Amino acid sequence: MANSENIGVYFSANDVVYDWTIAFLNSYRTFNPELRLILIPFDDQCDRLLKLSDTYKFEVYTDSSFSRLEAIGKAFELGYTPTGPYWFRRYASFWGTLDYFMYLDVRQVVLANLQPFIEAVRNLEFDFLHYDCAVDQVYEQGAFRQELLRQGRGRGFNSGRWAARKELFSIDEFEQLAQDALKIRDQLNPRNTDQAFINYCCDIKQVRYGHLAEVIGGICQNAWARQPGEIYWQEGKYYLWDYGGLDHKKQVILLHWAGISFNSIMPRRSLFKKYRFLKSSLIYKNLYNTRHRLLPAIIILKEALRRNRIINTYYHQIKNQFLMK
């Protein structure tokens, strides 16, 4: 690809997700030693994280549009996610320094060379290539969603991993689309604000988008850590063994823990630990393991209570009453 120095990856993080970020960075540089990497600070709590820039060779991108993007996020927020407006900073990538790029959240590990997937946007003449889909996480049931689906749109893709081209959107365009989207706010997912927003923008503008796995082939349709099957290593790549499943023996390029708590019983924890401690001393790794060895029983009990229908329903009723005061 011409101008190869103008392709790369944006990611967003802060000190709160430091452990996730270390695992992400170690995995990224394992498979992408030279591909440009640019941090979009999630908020102002990034002092510890910024000290890693030389070690992991990432740049830092700040932009005056951050406040305007956060204002869009505040307009969409219904009180479920206090940090939700900061999620919108990621969309400054559309007018950043990279011509073709991928955006990635840090609650995942990178398990492949990402350059072919970024280059596919241009080489295959797409505007936007997404990953995992779950329409209920984006659009509520109703007429708007039904019309999108009738038109062959409304995929409901995840906003934590996607590839696109520069200038697909502008900040002015986002602000206009936001005004229109707010008119049907009740037909968008109440919690996943930035995810509903970017889906709405791509659907209304009718950008040329597609699912990475469907467009390229040979890779898993789903990157979620809780998917069934066993991840195994073969000839320098990760694959999924899920005999009888749709992704059986397909390559795993990303693995994410979206919606999953960071704890000692989280799924695929061995892969997280591998990359979290890739550059750590044995002493530090043992201290970490000792600290977390005491927690599983407590966490298991907490998870059991959280998943109990009666307790969970009662908890959210009280929480919603508190938020409405």
SS (H, E, C) 177-197: HHHHHHCCHHHECCCCHHHHH
Q: How far apart are CA 199 and CA 80, in angstroms?
A: 19
Contact 256, 225 (CB under 8 A): yes
Contact 24, 111 (CB under 8 A): no
Contact 137, 56 (CB under 8 A): no
Q: Does the CA dihedral 48-51-55-59 come out positive or negative?
A: positive
Q: How far is CA 161 from CA 5, 84, 114, 309, in A?
A: 21, 17, 11, 31
Longest dimension (CA), the chain: 58
pLDDT along the chain (325 residues), means of 10: 73 97 98 98 98 98 98 96 96 98 98 98 98 96 97 97 98 98 98 97 97 97 95 98 97 96 90 93 60 57 68 72 59
Q: What is the pLDDT of residue 95?
A: 98
Q: What is the pLDDT of residue 298?
A: 61
**Torsion angle of alpha carbons 111, 22, 84, 117, nearest 10°?**
-20
Q: What is the pLDDT of residue 2?
A: 42
Q: How far apart are CA 79 and CA 316, in angstroms?
A: 13
Beta strands in 27-180 (DSSP E): 36-41, 59-60, 100-105, 108-110, 128-130, 161-165
* DSSP state letter for 202: H
